[in-house]
Amino acid sequence: MKPKNFIAVAAVATLLFASGCATRTTASGGKETSLLAGAVTVSTRSFQPTAPATLDVDKSKIASTGDPSGNKVTLLWGLITLHDY
């Protein structure tokens, strides 16, 4: 890859991943981080019920480690939700 192409690709990737990023502390003491202007949201200690209009995947039923962690990943603004609780 030419140096000019590498710089252009690196700049676009940085802008994409830095656009609309935010982290906040939730009421339950966990963290919620949004990436790509909310297209990807990662939450810890989030035992909130999922929205009815989402493709809900319970990771604890697929590969259970015992205790639920409360971790949740939401993709495509809530279209797909992966959670462990």
Long-range contacts, 46-52 (Cβ 8 Å, 24+)? 46/70, 46/71, 46/72, 46/83, 46/85, 47/85, 48/72, 50/81, 50/83, 51/78, 51/81
Please report whether residue 78 resides in a domain: yes
Quote the pLDDT of residue 39: 84
pLDDT value of position 8: 86
pTM above 0.75, yes or no: no
- Assess if residue 79 is contained within a domain: yes
Q: In 3-state terms, what secondary structure has residue 68? A: coil
55-58 and 80-83 beta bridge pairing: parallel
Is there a domain that residue 14 lies in?
no
How many structural domains compose the chain? 1
User: What's the pLDDT tens digit per position in 25-40?
Assistant: 888 788 988 887 788 8
Segment 47-84, tens digit of pLDDT: 888 888 888 887 767 766 677 777 888 888 888 898 88
> Is the residue at 2 inside a domain?
no
The verdict on residue 1 lying in a domain is no
* Residue 4 within any structural domain of the chain: no
Residues spanned by the domain of 40: 21-83
